[in-house]
Amino acid sequence: MAATTHSTSTALRLSQELLSQLSQHGNVRTYPAKTILIYEGDDSNSLFVIVSGRVKVYLCDNDGREVTLTTQGPGEYFGEMVLDGGLRSASVVTLEPTQCLVLPHGEVEEFVMCHPDFALQLIRDLMRRTRRLTENVRNLALLDVYGRVARVLLELAHEVDGRLVIAERLTQQDIANRVGASREMVSRILKDLERGGYIHQEGGRFLIDRTPPSHW
């Protein structure tokens, strides 16, 4: 059965025009890899727009157990909760050296009011994120671990030269953090998928050879 294309490329990235306009209201800062930019529970006082690099948005409990919500790259933004003045709802860490345009709360509010195109994009992006969160809750409640692993692999895959490739170099722990399962369980599922001819690895990246079944 041929694989169909699934990806997370629906993320709304800011246009160069908007980025240029936003740059007049904030400062560009450079962060090394593995720098925590936002802690869950902190005050919301700024919006971050990624200029270069990648970040991970995640939740973590007191025992260090972690759930990855998403990863983001250039043109995307996080910290939009700054608009309601509430506490940060998740933590964000850099996955590689990253540059961000950082805008304080007051500048964000002023920019939203003066630029309806940005306000509309922000609303659409918030709706998209809400839909994705709803779908994630649904899958955690209704899918077993295998189903969640298969779904994540398909969502992250992009078509490259007729093949479905996951560009991110994912470890078994990365996948486990995304699906809310143990690394050992994920390892067994990945081995089963490889033995079944559904996926394989090249150069540290996963390729999907055919669509995994919805149930194992």
Q: How many independent structural domains does the chain possess? A: 2
Q: Say what the pLDDT of residue 8 is.
A: 41
Find the domain containing 97 and state its range.
16-139
Q: pLDDT tens digit string along 152-170?
A: 999 899 998 888 999 888 9
pLDDT at 161: 87
Amino acid at 186: V
Residues 108, 193: one domain?
no
Q: What is the DSSP letter of 197?
A: T
**Which pLDDT score, from 0 to 100, does residue 104 have?**
93
Give residue-wise pLDDT tens across range 102-142. Answer: 999 999 999 999 989 889 988 988 898 889 888 878 877 77
Looking at the fold, whether 96 and 46 belong to one and the same domain comes out as yes
Tell me, yes or no, whether 73 and 123 share the same domain: yes
Residues 120 and 53 occupy one common structural domain: yes
Asked if residue 168 and residue 119 are part of one domain, the reply reads no
Residue 11 falls inside a structural domain: no
Query: What's CA 215's distance to the chain center, in Å?
Result: 25
Q: Check whether residue 40 and residue 135 sit in a common domain.
A: yes
Q: Is the pLDDT of residue 50 over 90?
A: yes
203 located within any domain: yes
108 and 169 part of one domain: no
Please check whether residues 163 and 121 belong to one and the same domain.
Answer: no
Partnered with residue 70 across adjacent β-strands are: 57
* Alpha carbon 202 to its chain's center: 23
pLDDT value of residue 154: 92
pLDDT band, very low/low/confident/very high, at 81 (cuts 50, 70, 90): confident
10, part of any domain? no
Residue 89 and residue 192 share a domain: no
Task: For residue 107, give the CATH number of its domain.
Answer: 2.60.120.10
H-run or E-run covering 145: helix 145-156
CATH classification at residue 166: 1.10.10.10
Q: Is the pTM of this model over 0.85?
A: no
Domain boundary at 121, 139, 157, which?
A: 139
> Which residues are registered as beta bridge partners of 101?
28, 49
Residue 215, pLDDT above cutoff 80: no
Which whole-number Å values give the CA distances from 90 to 117, 143, 165, 179, in the listed order? 26, 24, 28, 16
65 vs 28, which has greater pLDDT?
A: 28
Q: What percent of the chain has pLDDT over 70?
A: 94
159, 117: one domain: no
